[in-house]
Chains A and B, each alone.
Chain A
């Protein structure tokens, strides 16, 4: 089972702001990275580090972190943002094992 905890589902009205959270002990040592996955497609990196967006990711995506919780915020959600979102980190106990959250299905209403 995941050591990173995400809400299974979140919904947001078109154009509104939504926050997707991820909790886990490893997040006290590692910034979470975030991946967007649409049906039938491979995951795509949308956020990493403290608040770093890869090239091509809209600036409505932002990231933050506090204690054992990381957040991905979408300000002004668009229909194309409807997808599954996964957080990812590395076990901080020294095992160097990777871990993913269970995923959050975002619905844009």
Chain B
């Protein structure tokens, strides 16, 4: 069974740091790009960051650039998100998700989707 399990969430004070982990199983982790997506309480989904299979390509949302660092350890089938200088607005459930992508040569469109998602881990930034 393809599965993603996040951990590492918790309560942290503004300005503090936290490291999230995502353990992958049931698929060849090293072959897939991975993403972090978050959801503030009562709000919609927000894409946070992505990392390619070999860590060669990394992207961040403007809201976290310079404060968050995504990384992975393919030998351990694990994805990480180091979060520094945390703010109240970073309070959210953080999900990791496997990225799938390909290109439809008949239509010229690209396909990009997330499947599966982990169950999420809650990060609360509060004094």
Q: Which residues of B contact A42 (CB under 8 A)?
A: 95, 117-120
Is A16 an interface residue when CB atoms closer than 8 A count as contact?
A: no
Chain B residues with CB under 8 Å of A84's CB are 44
**Of the residues A2, A29, A33, A48, contact of B44 by C-beta under 8 Å:** A2
> How many chain A residues have a CB neighbour from B under 8 Å?
31
Which parts of A57-109 form the interface with B (CB within 8 Å)?
65, 84, 86, 88-90, 95-103
- The count of A-to-B residue pairs whose CB atoms sit within 8 angstroms is 83
Classify the secondary structure of B's interface with A: strand
Chain A residues in 8 Å Cβ range of B114? 33, 35, 43, 45, 88
What chain B residues lie within 8 Å of A50 (beta carbons)?
A: 104, 107, 109
Q: Which residues of B contact A45 (CB under 8 A)?
A: 113-117
- Distance of B116 from chain A, by nearest CB (Å): 8
Q: How far is the CA of A43 from the CA of B44 in the complex (A)?
A: 11
Cα–Cα, bound, A99→B61 (Å): 9
The CA of A32 and the CA of B119, in the complex, are separated in Å by: 22
How far, in angstroms, from A95 to B107 measured CA to CA in the complex? 22
A residues adjacent to B (C-beta < 8 A): 2, 29-31, 33, 35, 37, 42-45, 48-50, 52, 54, 65, 84, 86, 88-90, 95-103
B interface with A by C-beta (< 8 Å): 35, 37, 44-47, 50, 57, 59, 61, 95, 100, 104, 107, 109-120
